[in-house]
Structure 1
Amino acid sequence: MAVKLLPSVFPKKARHCVNLLARLSSVPCAVDFGILQETHQGSSSSSGYESNVKSLRNNLVPDNLIWVLRSTPDIETSVRIFRWAALQKIFQHTAGTYCVMALKLGLAGNVREMEVLCQNMIKDECPGAEDVLVSLVETFVEHRRVNVAIRVLVSMIAGNFRPSILLFNAILGSLVAEKGDLKDVLFVYKEMVKACRVPTVDTLNYLLEALFEAGWVDSALDQYRRMNKKGCHPNSRTFEVVIGNLIMMDCANEAVPILKDMLELGVQMDSRFYTLVVPHFCKENNLAEGMRLFESMKAAKFVPDITIYATLIHHLCSKFLVVEANRLLQEMINNGVMPSDDILEDMVIGLCRLGKISQAIDLLEDKKVLATSPHNALISGCCNAGEFFLAKQLLEKIMCESAIADCGSWNILVRWLSQHCNLKQALQVLGNMIVTSLVPDSSTVSALVIGYCKLGKYDDATKLFDRFYANFFVLDSLSYSELIRGLCEVGKYSKATEIFCCMSMRKHSLESSSFNMLIKGVFDEGGIHEAKEILSLAADCGVHYNDETYSVLLNCLSETPKYQLVLLAQIVINGFDISSDAYAILIRGIFHTSVRVNEAALLFNLMVAERAIPESECLLDLLSLFACRSQLHMISSSIDMLLYDLVLNSDMYSLLINGLWKEGYVCKARELLDLMLERGWIPDASTHGLFIGPTSIQETDCRNFQIDNSIVQDNISSILAEGLERI
């Protein structure tokens, strides 16, 4: 008798791997997987077990046992019946009975027991065992029990069966679809090698997909390059996996040579691939490859959709390639794809940037555009080109002809006038807007605030803010920063703080430079406690700290070194590099409040090692601090690095020579003098005095470096004489 599997068990998407009916035609009993009852794990029913055994006792044949096992709902009763049958002398389990029991165990999650059952079936050399094992693998894969399917596969290979490559591909495909662990994919691949099966292109595609999913980009690219050595040639799915994943992982540059391979091989991709990849290449600033793919797409007789056209036109316009963008615009219209408002807006912006305002006007008139955004782009383009009166005429025209102008259309004029210190005319335009029954919005208020700030009328700007803030209006980032900056410049930190608190309560962030001015003023006027409240609000609303911010904070905390160290830790934790200004502030703070000069030396050495060298005046000041404490020798290695980088000027040389001499490092001081003179700089009077004084020649112990006194005397005398002559 043959095992017959209902076609409904395997959907069409899984049936392409194998022909189950043909494979199982030789198995000696009938098993219908499709009508297996749902398996329950729980306490076994003694009455159910007894009644089933009683029905089988005088009629124990494989078909009857299969029917009983299939109709028994709980797993423990099924196992007891299966074991009872195995103990009967007149009965021997077949591949069919093993199959039903293994299937129930596997679906119930009893993987170990199922695996033992498969091994016993192989050991018993049941006819049709291989076909049954294959059907089990496929059924478990279909029911998303891939881990169970893998254990069946392992049992097959251990039993010297050689599953087909299609079976391996079915498991790999399921693992990849379910985002399984890479280790499981690699395990199945190794089992395939163990079974002496050669991978197909589908096998390698699954492997590539798993490697990319795990983030192993280099390994995936290596596998791609080795495909030919494995007798496989990339197909459309290969390129979809490799190029698609590289694009999604922001590795567009690595995708370019793969794309070249695809085009050279003439592999035909589907339209979905182009829709995914073309926009990403453009966004990665690789417009050339995007256009290349676009031409390949058209050569394959695919009609690009509006997404591709919109992306290409946008990036062409942003690169001032308006002629090419206009060609695509006409092409898409000819293909029956109507341009969206965004596309027309990009075209207008591109034309206006090139000064082709008349062409932009013609474009909107020819296309009979009634949308607001392209017209607003045209008005904005006119203003940016200094054509305010033309912009005003265009606004009046569209108001008369189509009434499509909105508040944003008027705001463009108001903002441009405000930014150019023409607040009076801006207010007139605002009056005209109100006459048309349009109500000012947050953008209108923001524009007027900028106008007041440009004229230094900060009181009027704050009154306007207070008036409209009560109506839940908020300023945009530019006007907000401009207002805070202006208030800080005139010393009105209290009002600036009040506005900052209001905006922060509504989660609006402040631009870094304005925040730096605010926090410095708050520190100076209110001290650390008020500043702490500002910092807390800044953290809540997402103010971005930069190097200058941390320098300001460190400087404000100069009287409290312990807070400086806490802030320093925060700088490091947040991934910021410590700037030269920050180093300088920390070093000065240590010298000002502490006798632990070694900490200052540690910071100075770290500053130089990281090449965070401050400007000359600041560096001279830091070196002076060490010289005053007679601690220049503690930064000797950093001094050598500064000498090598040619950072030191004549004042620094003189300072170092004097300081090191006084600290007893006479040899080092003389070396610096030689270097200074080689650069053509003349030592100052104090440095002269060191070397021509009565004791200078006698100090010949340069830390185990012996110098002939007469030679030194002659060299120094001649050098100083030459220098004095220049004076």
Structure 2
Amino acid sequence: MPAFLNPPKIPLSTTFHLRPLLFPIPSKPSIISFSSTSTPTPEDISHLIVTAHSPSQALQTFKWATHFPNFHHTQATFKSLIQKLCAFRRFDTVQTVLNQIPASLGGPPDDDIFITIIRGMGRARMTRQAIQISNLMVSQFGKNPSTKIFNSVLDVLVREDIDLGREFFRKRMMGCGIQGDEYTFGILMKGLCSTNRIDEGFRLLKLMKSQGFAPNPVIYNTLIHALCRNGKVGRGRSLVNEMDGPNAVTFNVLISAYCKEGDLVRALVMLETCFSCGFVPDVVAITKLVELLCNDGRVMEAAEVLERVERKGGVVDTISYNALIKGFCQLGKVKMGKRVLKEMEGKGCLPNVSTYNLLIAGFCECGKLDEAVDLFREMQMVGISLDYVTYDTLIRGLCSGGRIADGIRILGMMEENGGKMAGRISPYNSIIYGLYRENRLEEAHGFLVKMGRFFPRAVDRSSKILGFCRDGKIEEAKRLYDQMVGEGGVPSALVHMRLIDGLCEEQDVRGAFELMNDMVVNACFPIVVTFNTLIDGFCREGSLGSAASLLEEMVGRGCLPDIGSYRPLIDGFCRRGNLQRAVGLVAEMVEKGVVPDRFIWNSLLLFLNQEGIECKHRLHVNSLLNWICEG
């Protein structure tokens, strides 16, 4: 048995010996106002002990206090000392201090002191020793443990092992005639629910009622939360009907659960019920509801929810406002998002780096790069630390918008700051992407080479892939690409472009198409040259439908097709004898300002010169020519 649980016989007059002061305590501690001749209060000494930096300093403070005339230690000062010793796991010294209490105070330690020891042992994972504290109270101090003491031991055991806690409740507590109280059942319910033993939780609820206890909201909320966590939100909602009255926590749990399931209608109904009962949801539940509304495009409703919560005295924090700003940005209403920024500042809720990052991303997405740069500068002026996301977002936005020189300048600022932002390749890939978008491929390759001093492994692999593609060794290039991606690497747009070209040359158009999808996933939208390579590849393998779909997707994403986009499709439809589709594409390209070249006219003329071509086809082409000339 540990020494603490079998203490040596120490005379009541014995005092513990103290070593010399490690941290001399001044006669006028700066944190407490009393003179060298006045006597500090027990509260003063308790505060000094709790704020001590080590167990020895706490002990010295305790001893130092006795030098003041008329000062007497109390249960509170002993508790503070024991609390500090338990925090440093000095349970041997706790035993000695505990033995001094009867002589010093004329009575045994109170329940708060024993509870402090029990909780300290719990934090130290000394659960078995914590159980013996109730025996110690009887054997050494002649004091029967109260329900409060038993509950403290039970709480420690349940945190460690619910089965150990249940055994303690049945054998020790009930064996001593302690039936428990609402806190006892609350502890057991928490243990059962935290281990997802929900059925046993319901049996415990039934036991409480059979013993005449009215389960309090805490017990019901614990069970409701466990049900919701396990996807049984409806069952949790029905349990509310059994409660004498739900509280704010009940509604927080249910609103959050409905939001997690994406059930916006029921979440809003629960919000109205919460308001009608006189409660206001907490900031966590409200933020989840705002996020769900914004994801559904109902941003104005989300703004109204926040406004109502504020009017009713609820808390709305920066994270809640950020969710609303994100919603506005997703709808392209970035100026509304910026207005929210100003409103939250006016209400004393300060924006953080995420607030600005969301707005910078929103302005970049809308092509309003000057506004994004202004926000970047504003962050510096108001003292908000720029993080990696700030730099990465702005560099990507600038390079995607053709302002590569500005992107390189911001990258230089990021390199100067260094720290946690070093070793991130994404901003550098954004520069390459910007050069790729402008078809400045030689410059992109030169920049890739310069990156070698920061990312030698990534650049070496990229260079090898490009070399394999140049030499026609596409299989080796693809294998190295897959290895790079498999290890978490993100190849640049230049690598994707060359590999797509190579795969199409090898007639692996499907593989090239998958690579293009990888580009889009990595926020690198292909330029017209890459689209044309794939369109031509699909046409050469006879997949005209796939080529036409790719052309539609290209236009739908805002990438303007050129003559190379239409030429293979028109030729393919002519060879298939589908003049209507071919002529339709010619009309479409002319509408977009793309002038047909001689290859396209040759395709049409070759089709018309074939034997057996109906006259109406020739008339169709003549009408097209007249329309083009008139235009």
Trace 1:531-610 onto structure 2 (pairs within 5 A).
531-539=302-310, 540-543=312-315, 545-546=317-318, 548-558=319-329, 559=331, 560-572=333-345, 574=348, 576=350, 578-579=352-353, 581-593=354-366, 596-605=368-377
Q: Does structure 1 conserve the Cα–Cα contact (< 8 Å) formed by 2:328 and 2:336? A: yes
1:499 aligns with 2:267: no
1:277 aligns with 2:44: yes
Trace 1:297-446 onto structure 2 (pairs within 5 A).
297-300=65-68, 302-335=71-104, 336-353=106-123, 354-355=126-127, 356-366=129-139, 367-394=142-169, 397-399=172-174, 401-403=176-178, 405-446=180-221
Determine what percentage of the aligned residue pairs are the same residue: 17
Q: Does structure 2 conserve the Cα–Cα contact (< 8 Å) formed by 1:326 and 1:347? A: no
Partner of 2:608: none
Q: What letter corresponds to residue 196 of structure 2 in structure 1?
A: C
Rounded to whole Å, the distance in 1 between the matches of 2:376 and 2:438 is 19
Which of 243, 257, 263 lines up with 1:486 in the alignment? 257
Encode CA deviations 1:333-370: one digit per residue, 9 max, x unaligned.
22214433322222222233422133223134444335
Q: What letter corresponds to residue 64 of structure 2 in structure 1?
A: S
Gaps of 5+ in 1: 1-235, 247-261, 693-722
Cα distance, 1:599 vs structure 2: 1.1
Q: What letter corresponds to residue 194 of structure 2 in structure 1?
A: Q
Compared CA separation, residues 606 and 636, structure 1 to 2 (3 A)? farther
Which of 612, 630, 635 lines up with 2:386 in the alignment? 612
Rounded to whole Å, the distance in 2 between the matches of 1:599 and 1:372 is 64
Rounded to whole Å, the distance in 1 between the matches of 2:269 and 2:66 is 59
Cα distance, 1:535 vs structure 2: 1.0
Cα distance, 1:534 vs structure 2: 2.3
3-state SS in 2 of match to 1:612: coil
Compared CA separation, residues 506 and 536, structure 1 to 2 (3 A)? farther
Rounded to whole Å, the distance in 2 between the matches of 1:526 and 1:638 is 33
Rounded to whole Å, the distance in 2 between the matches of 1:423 and 1:598 is 56
Encode CA deviations 1:96-117: one digit per residue, 9 max, x unaligned.
xxxxxxxxxxxxxxxxxxxxxx
Compared CA separation, residues 631 and 678, structure 1 to 2 (3 A)? same
Partner of 2:231: 456
Rounded to whole Å, the distance in 1 between the matches of 2:52 and 2:396 is 50
Partner of 1:291: 59
Rounded to whole Å, the distance in 2 between the matches of 1:651 and 1:310 is 55
1:632 aligns with 2:401: no
Q: What letter corresponds to residue 280 of structure 1 in structure 2?
A: H
In the alignment of these two chains, the number of paired residues is 427
Gaps of 5+ in 2: 1-24, 471-497, 503-631
Q: What letter corresponds to residue 549 of structure 1 in structure 2?
A: S
3-state SS in 2 of match to 1:432: helix
Q: What letter corresponds to residue 578 of structure 1 in structure 2?
A: N
Q: Does structure 2 conserve the Cα–Cα contact (< 8 Å) formed by 1:417 and 1:425? A: yes
Compared CA separation, residues 647 and 596, structure 1 to 2 (3 A)? same
Cα distance, 1:640 vs structure 2: 1.0
Compared CA separation, residues 637 and 308, structure 1 to 2 (3 A)? same
Cα distance, 1:411 vs structure 2: 1.9
Rounded to whole Å, the distance in 1 between the matches of 2:258 and 2:215 is 25
Q: What letter corresponds to residue 262 of structure 2 in structure 1?
A: G
Q: Does structure 2 conserve the Cα–Cα contact (< 8 Å) formed by 1:642 and 1:648? A: no
Larger radius of gyration: 1
Compared CA separation, residues 649 and 475, structure 1 to 2 (3 A)? closer
Q: Does structure 2 conserve the Cα–Cα contact (< 8 Å) formed by 1:590 and 1:596? A: yes
Compared CA separation, residues 682 and 630, structure 1 to 2 (3 A)? farther
Pick which of 624-633 and 408-417 moved more: 624-633
Compared CA separation, residues 678 and 397, structure 1 to 2 (3 A)? closer
Q: Provide the aligned C-alpha RMSD in A.
A: 4.3
Cα distance, 1:275 vs structure 2: 1.9
Compared CA separation, residues 427 and 300, structure 1 to 2 (3 A)? same
Cα distance, 1:612 vs structure 2: 2.8
Rounded to whole Å, the distance in 2 between the matches of 1:315 and 1:497 is 47
Encode CA deviations 1:2-47: one digit per residue, 9 max, x unaligned.
xxxxxxxxxxxxxxxxxxxxxxxxxxxxxxxxxxxxxxxxxxxxxx
Trace 1:144-223 onto structure 2 (pairs within 5 A).
none
Rounded to whole Å, the distance in 1 between the matches of 2:440 and 2:274 is 59
Q: What letter corresponds to residue 244 of structure 1 in structure 2?
A: I
- TM-score, normalised via structure 2 length: 0.58
Compared CA separation, residues 436 and 659, structure 1 to 2 (3 A)? closer
Compared CA separation, residues 427 and 669, structure 1 to 2 (3 A)? closer
Partner of 2:484: none
3-state SS in 2 of match to 1:557: helix
